[in-house]
Structure 1
Amino acid sequence: MEATAADGAVAVVRETSVVSETVVVEPAPRRWTRRIGVFDLETTGIDVTEDRIVTAYVGLLDERGAVIHDEHWLADPGIEIPEGATAVHGITTEQARAEGRPAAEVVAEVTHALRTLLSAGIPVVAYNAAYDFSLLKFEGERHGIATIDSPAPVIDPLVIDKTCDRYRKGKRTLDVVAAHYSVPLESAHEASADAIAAGRVALAIAERFADTLPEDVQELHTRQIGWAREQAESLTEYFIRIGRLEPTEVLDGSWPVRS
């Protein structure tokens, strides 16, 4: 006989003629949340085809959101870092030139670190993944490095949050969404802080919407492709309606790498 406790555990009651024994069996953890990679870039701007990596972070979190491995990079992007970008992440052109490593080396190592995680079937969390993975791809092409053209499995808390809590009002920037899910975010726009917070947001979303999201990470990855496309179509319609886009313009909904 089974009874379900309030916390989701299952109490299995074994009855005999002499005694009844109750064994509490905890629910199995969601498979894709046991280990997650996290990834973030800070860059010279927002154009994925032209802008360059300044700092990068790739880490590995356990199911509680604790960091169990991480790698940091500071690159010399080879171009001037605009003042606006420096105001966001704090790295100046002078600092990047003096302390940063050659961009080609950084791009190659970041790509390798991500490829290692993905090849092992470990999902990589990236907030607004299409930006980071697309910029990394174009950086790889720029430096003659084999790119990750179809990264999978990828978890994008931005895409999932917009789907699972579609009608919540307010901005969906990482700091706002992190606060909504009670995830601390210190030093926002610092690659490691943003990546770790995004990973913890993904874990919080997985817990809150456990009845909605698939446990299989490949299925979740595939669903996000459709969700991202639908979100881009909806935003395109809105921007056309308010005059921010021409009727012939379309936002790119490709995910997790922009076409």
Structure 2
Amino acid sequence: MEQKKTRILIADDDAEIRSVLTLLLSSEGYEVIAACDGQEAVEKADDTIDLYILDVSMPNVSGFAAAAEIRKTCYAPVLFLTAYSGESDRTMGFSVGADDYIAKPFSNTDLLLRVKAHLRRSLEYSKALYAAKAENQGHTDSPDSIVYKDLVLVPDSQSVQKDGTAIALTWTEYRILELLLTHRRKIFSLENIYQSVWDEDAVGDSTIMVHIKNLRKKLGDNSRNPQYIKTAWGKGYYAD
């Protein structure tokens, strides 16, 4: 039986960039679905897509707006292509669920490395998340589960449940939560968290702060009196 190809959706209003990306990714064995703008990307998005590459500056519906809409139902990694890599742009992108940024003009080698890394990290997580939502069977019996209050994290499947209900986290959000819960009471600075999750130097404090805000919202955590992710003012974040 022929193995199902990994599906990557690319969206860019520049036909030449779409052509280059399609050729590059297809040569690596990926199935490429191309969209010429953000609206078409939203229309073509579904749970069969394994990764999204979206240009930020597209007419009508921007990459940011498209990602925000896609994130309502899909949890595959989202990579942004952008000519702007400032902190404010990254903050906006991460706030709508982005996993990474690739600056234009991009290196083909760098893009492929990032694509492969995100696919490797997320494929099992995405499949496990859909399975957990469908089954909704409550706490797992896995001996490697991380139990914290009413949260259960399962490292093998990278899934998260709260009171037996699956929580839809992106891969990046899961990694931050796992980091804090596996090192209780240790305060992680913003730079520590960034290096642990991305394996590179931090690009700005707001990146992690946006992810923490998103995590708290999804977990139902009150930022003024948090139960899961606590703030050590001027130092960082921790779980007690």
The interval holding the TM-score normalised by the smaller chain is under 0.3
Q: Identify which of structures 1 and 2 has the higher relative contact order when contacts are C-alpha pairs closer than 8 Å and 6+ apart.
A: 1
TM-score (norm 2): 0.28
Give me the TM-score of the superposition, normalised by structure 1: 0.26
